[in-house]
């Protein structure tokens, strides 16, 4: 591998990885993505069964960043996003505008993935530094996936740490990358289709988390088949983690009972129901670790490269990147969203930041070669 190579590997084709890849490729640079799933998008996911469709991951999109709003406008111009105005929505913050991908939530990552080199259904099992400084990727069968000048890891922190464990053990990767005031929380989701209308005028309910966080009439979203009554229900993280290994059929029954109890009315006959467990659904800041993290980061040396890797300002960064090794991290967990409604925005901001950092690094590296 030539030292001046700018080839980038991105592990994970969710919103962060796709956003970084598009920025990098737009700069005329070579990028390849790897994802263990059949579809791109991570939690911007849609489950299809028997002619039905359910947005069983991120339920909607909201924005607080002007840059992200501008990107959302472009998605709307491309017919991949529409404003969702659920009827009689209850429990949402005043003034919150909700958006949804059309014809489903996965339309947004599908749009981002257009024209990118993505290897799907492959698990990157380890990465190893080569004598020439390149990074070599291996799958679970120890087959080589290629050599790269830089690697951006966008999977959840537990998985990222496993990939970088050898570097952590040898000191090549500093362990403060993973000492951050954040915890990834799990969530059960249940998808249900009924043979009649659920007895409520509300298309979107924010509940008390016992056990449901949200109950959403999926068929009310723009671009969906309105003749079919479909709902998606999301459990609160505390309940999910308490019943993480609960049988899926029992989860479905509990969710249906909770919805009927909340509405104080019997539900129509169920014609389809399925539960899905997201182990890494929400990035949540952990207040109890903030003091320790600030003390740790105050003692870190600056690298002289921006305010990312090795900087005392790392907790306010959207991504991390080490110019000495060419390794980076991105994802909503680097800087957790301030609101549970802003998860997609956080992933996009992280991917954009990482793409800009690595593109700048590669250009500087090529100029020095």
pLDDT (tens digit per residue) in 117-137: 999 999 999 999 999 999 999
Dist CA 265 CA 85 (whole Å)? 24
Helices vs strands, H then E, count in the chain = 9, 18
Q: Is the per-residue pLDDT at 3 higher than 80? A: no
Tell me the DSSP string of 231-273. Answer: EEEEE-HHHHHHTTT--HHHHHHHHHHHHHHHHTSPPPPEEEE
Residue 292: per-residue pLDDT: 40
Interval 44-54: pLDDT, tens: 999 999 889 99
Handedness of CA 22, 35, 66, 81 (dihedral sign): positive
Dist CA 47 CA 295 (whole Å)? 44
Which pTM value belongs to this model?
0.90
- % of residues, the chain, pLDDT over 90: 78
Interval 284-296: pLDDT, tens: 998 644 444 344 3
Dist CA 210 CA 213 (whole Å)? 8
Interval 247-261: pLDDT, tens: 999 999 999 999 999
Interval 259-283: pLDDT, tens: 999 999 999 999 999 999 999 999 9
The tokens for 86 are 């659920």
For the chain, the domains span 8-45+104-182+286-368
Consecutive H or E run containing 81: strand 81-84
Assign 181 a pLDDT band (cuts: 50, 70, 90).
confident
The CATH superfamily holding the domain 8-45+104-182+286-368 is FAD/NAD(P)-binding domain (3.50.50.60)
């Amino acid at each position: 591998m030539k030292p001046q190579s700018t080839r980038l590997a991105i592990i994970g084709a969710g919103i962060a990885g796709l956003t970084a890849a598009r920025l990098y490729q737009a700069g005329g640079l070579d990028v390849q993505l790897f994802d263990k799933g059949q579809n791109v998008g991570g939690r911007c996911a849609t489950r299809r069964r028997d002619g039905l469709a359910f947005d069983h991951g991120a339920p909607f999109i909201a924005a607080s960043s002007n840059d992200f709003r501008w990107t959302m406008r472009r998605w709307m111009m491309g017919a991949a996003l529409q404003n969702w105005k659920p009827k009689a929505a209850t429990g949402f913050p005043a003034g919150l505008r909700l958006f949804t991908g059309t014809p489903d939530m996965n339309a947004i990552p599908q749009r981002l993935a257009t024209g990118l080199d993505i290897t799907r259904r492959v698990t990157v099992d380890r990465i190893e530094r080569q004598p020439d400084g390149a990074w070599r990727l291996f799958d679970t069968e120890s087959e080589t996936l290629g050599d790269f000048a830089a690697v951006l890891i966008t999977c959840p922190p537990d998985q990222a740490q496993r990939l970088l464990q050898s570097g952590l053990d040898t000191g090549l990767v500093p362990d403060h990358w993973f000492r951050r005031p954040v915890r990834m929380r799990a969530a059960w989701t249940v998808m249900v289709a009924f043979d009649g209308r659920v007895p409520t005028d509300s298309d979107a309910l924010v509940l008390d988390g016992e056990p449901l966080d949200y109950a959403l009439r999926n068929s009310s979203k723009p671009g969906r088949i309105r003749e079919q009554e479909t709902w998606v229900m999301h459990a609160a993280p505390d309940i999910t983690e308490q019943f993480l290994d609960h049988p899926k059929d029992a989860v479905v029954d509990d969710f249906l009972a909770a919805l009927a109890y909340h509405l104080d009315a019997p539900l129509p006959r169920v014609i389809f129901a399925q539960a899905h467990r997201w182990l890494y659904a929400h990035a949540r800041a952990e207040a109890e670790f903030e003091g320790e993290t600030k003390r740790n980061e105050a003692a870190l040396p600056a690298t002289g490269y921006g305010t990312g890797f090795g900087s005392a300002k790392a907790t306010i960064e959207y991504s991390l990147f080490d110019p000495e090794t060419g390794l980076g991290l991105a994802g909503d967990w680097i800087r957790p969203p301030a609101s549970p409604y802003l998860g997609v925005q956080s992933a996009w901001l992280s991917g954009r930041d990482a793409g800009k950092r690595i593109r700048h690094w590669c250009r500087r590296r090529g100029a020095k070669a």
